[in-house]
Amino acid sequence: MALAGKKVLIVYAHQSSGSFNAAAKDTAVEVLTAKGCAVKVSDLYAMKFKAAATAEDIQGEVKNADHFRYADETKAAWESKKLAVDITEEQCKLSEADLIIFQFPMYWFSMPAILKGWIDRVLTLGYAYSDEKRYGQGIFKDKKAVLSFTTGSAESMFSANGINGDMNVTLWPIQNGILHYCGFQVLAPQIFWAPSGIPREASAALLQAWRNRLEGLLDEAPLTFTPMEYFDGEAGFRLKPEVQQKQSSEKFGLTVGTHMGMAVPPNNMLRAGV
């Protein structure tokens, strides 16, 4: 797929312009711009983006102040164009984008609070998902998304027998529970393993590998998730009996999250086609 003319949104969450994350973000801007992409960066710390999802996110009165329900209230506000300006600005950027890159340092096995706040506040009910439009039928099924992040621990510590646990399991809530849930085609993550603890030359090699990958990023196949049609909605969206029966003779489960007590499939959240 040609990159020229594509629109890219980089949601960037790091406090320091001298960080490795800043260098990774700058590399993406440089490469994608040179390829003819229109690139926008949401620098969340520089923007002082509000992380907390509150009633302040709605202009005017809320529907039920005594029992404020964020999802319902923001859905109504989105429909009536009464969401806070900072939310609608980010939603406009997201709506225009063909590719979204989330650039951040991993904090506590997840993302920084300011980035989680972007997720909570921007991906509102109705705009980003609904009961009818989620997972394989999600609203953003024509968009691609990729996590690009640094860790503080070495790769060995995030292995299946490492002290931190399997990185595939760590990424499941983000890649499936947020991105795939909203319909995104989720590309394999770009993980920079503990860059603060390696020599400068090694850091440069990591950035060069990212640069090389960016050249063909939109041509990559997305990660595989279990199709919605495998699940029975009338039975609480559990796997259909015929699917379970067919899968019962396999060595591994379908995905990291849907494994039916069998072995977790290796690299299910790290590489496409596994």
Contact 162, 134 (CB under 8 A): no
User: pLDDT per position in the chain (274 positions), as tens?
Assistant: 578 899 999 999 999 999 999 999 999 999 999 999 999 999 999 999 999 999 999 999 999 999 999 999 999 999 999 999 999 999 999 999 999 999 999 999 999 999 999 999 999 999 999 999 999 999 999 999 999 999 999 999 999 999 999 999 999 999 999 999 999 999 999 999 999 988 888 999 999 999 999 999 999 999 999 999 999 999 999 999 999 999 989 999 999 999 999 999 999 999 987 6
User: What are the residue ranges spanned by the domains of the chain?
Assistant: 7-222, 224-274
In this predicted structure, what is the pLDDT of residue 274? 63
Give the CATH H-level superfamily of domain 7-222.
Flavodoxin domain (3.40.50.360)
10 Å Cβ neighbour count for 237?
Answer: 11
For 218, the 3-state DSSP assignment is: helix
d(CA 148, CA 106): 10
- Of 166, 212, 215, 157, the closest CA to residue 2 belongs to 215
The C-alpha atoms of residue 41 and residue 61 are separated, in whole angstroms, by 32
Q: At what angle do helices 200-215 and 20-34 cross, to 10 degrees?
A: 30
The single-letter code of the amino acid at 149 is F
Instruction: Let me know: does 102 contact 25? Beta carbons within 8 Å.
Output: no
pLDDT score at 200: 86
- Tell me phi and psi for residue 263, to 5 degrees: -60, 140
Q: Which two tokens stand for residue 153?
A: 């621990």
**Burial tier of 157 (Cβ tally within 10 Å: 0-12, 13-18, 19+):** middle
Which amino acid belongs to residue 258? T
Alpha carbon dihedral 140, 167, 211, 11, in 10-degree steps, equals 40
C-alpha 171: how far from its chain's center? 9
First-residue to last-residue Cα distance in the chain: 22
How far apart, in Å, are the Cα atoms of 52 and each of 106, 111, 118, 177, 213? Answer: 19, 14, 9, 19, 34
**Which distant-in-sequence residues (6+ apart) come within 8 Å of 80 by Cβ?**
none
Pick from 85, 67, 63, 86: nearest CA to 75: 63
Write out the two tokens for 207. Answer: 């950035």
Closest C-alpha among 34, 55, 12 to residue 149: 12
User: In 10 A of CB 15, how many CB atoms?
Assistant: 13
Instruction: Give the SS3 label for residue 3.
Output: coil
Q: What is the pLDDT of residue 125?
A: 98
Please name the helix (run of DSSP H) or strand (run of DSSP E) that holds residue 43, with its range, or none: strand 38-43
